[in-house]
Amino acid sequence: MRCLKCKENAVIELRQHNASYCRTHFLSYFTNRVRQNIEHRRMFAPDDRILVAVSGGKDSLALWDVLLGLGFNASGLHLHLGIGEYSNLSLEKTRHFASSRGAELIEVNLAKEYGMGVTELSSKTGRVPCSACGQSKRYLFNKVALDRGFSVLATGHNLDDEAATLLGNVLSWQTQALARQSPVLPRTRPTLVKKVKPLYTLTERETALYCLLKRIDYVEDECPNALGAKSLLFKEVLNRLEENMPGVKQSFVKLFLKRIQPLLKSEQDVDVRDCAVCGQPTTREICAFCSLWQKALSGGVAYNASSGAQIEDRRID
């Protein structure tokens, strides 16, 4: 197997692109794809302040590394979620990367700042851990970016993540979620920061190899709460398809964005307002994050802060 560019020994074969690359040309291919995604989708400009959501896993660390390498002003945000040893290890790897690059790292510890981590939050509210965790992450990413004056939030979602999410949304025809599934979510309100996914065309295998070649030490274990998650099943199914149909994941996501998503514009018209408690955007009086944490901190019941009435626990944000 020879490199497409220089004919040296290749370190990876990319069947979806009918190409193989040596170390040097794989790294430039990877970086160029990220740069093209940023430019083509107008994700951000050189003068933007970018906040990268960094879990300590391969995708977010690879993304942060590429952005720093391209000269962007990119700081990291790490949430310590309070999921046992997994969270401690994730923080350690993230800190190690940040200090090795001399990059700014902002840390938020759920237990210290809000009273409990995801495991306790889940048991106090009766919500499955990923639901409580996802809700808290979405909220805090937006809040920290706004409070600290960042113009854009970047996450490490890769092609496998996007294809698995798309498959899940299609299987249950979640039209509102499909309308929002995009590599760029613009700032539609002053309280909602722009969100981008610069790795959305690169696979997990590619981000893992990028980290390996750049000697980036990342958390290899999955979060213990991911065991049995439907997204992992969808990834397995898509990988089996990809083995027989190289490029299918890429075309699945690409053609969805090109042909189907423009038809779903009307699904994006939801009535958004500011949360009565925290002022962050929500589709109801009190945002899902405030409801969730009120419930956790008051022994299982959420109350309206202004009227004192008990409120329904629904997930919409």
Instruction: Give the binding site for ligand SF4 (CB under 6 A).
Output: 81, 83, 118, 129-130, 133-134, 223, 225-226
Q: Out of Zn ion, ligand SF4, none, which partner does residue 118 contact, by CB within 5 to 8 A per kind?
A: ligand SF4
Q: How deeply is 74 buried, as exposed, middle or buried, from its count of CB atoms within 10 A (0-12, 13-18, 19+)?
A: buried
Q: Out of Zn ion, ligand SF4, none, which partner does residue 275 contact, by CB within 5 to 8 A per kind?
A: Zn ion
- Give the total of residues touching Zn ion (CB under 5 A): 11
Q: Out of Zn ion, ligand SF4, none, which partner does residue 133 contact, by CB within 5 to 8 A per kind?
A: ligand SF4
Structure tokens belonging to residue 93: 């790897």
Q: Out of ligand SF4, Zn ion, none, which partner does residue 134 contact, by CB within 5 to 8 A per kind?
A: ligand SF4
Nearer to ligand SF4, 130 or 257 (CB): 130
Give CA–CA dist 286/16, Å, rounded: 45
6 binds Zn ion (CB under 5 A): yes
Q: Out of Zn ion, ligand SF4, none, which partner does residue 287 contact, by CB within 5 to 8 A per kind?
A: Zn ion
Cβ at position 65, least distance to ligand SF4 in Å: 21
**111 CB contacts (<8 Å, ≥6 apart)?**
80, 82, 117, 120
22 binds Zn ion (CB under 5 A): yes
Contacts of Zn ion in 258-277 (CB under 5 A):
275, 277
Cβ at position 229, least distance to ligand SF4 in Å: 6
Nearer to ligand SF4, 226 or 270 (CB): 226
Q: Out of Zn ion, ligand SF4, none, which partner does residue 35 contact, by CB within 5 to 8 A per kind?
A: none
Structure tokens belonging to residue 131: 């639901």
Helices (H), 17-158: 23-40, 58-69, 84-101, 110-114, 118-125, 129-147
Place of tokens 């030490």: 217
287 binds Zn ion (CB under 5 A): yes
Nearer to ligand SF4, 16 or 90 (CB): 90
Give CA–CA dist 193/50, Å, rounded: 11
SS3 content of the chain, % helix, strand, coil (to 5): 50, 15, 35
Identify which range of 6-14, 53-61, 169-177, 200-208 contacts Zn ion by CB under 5 A. 6-14
DSSP for 174-208, please give it.
Answer: -HHHHHH--SEE---STTS-EEE-TTTTS-HHHHH
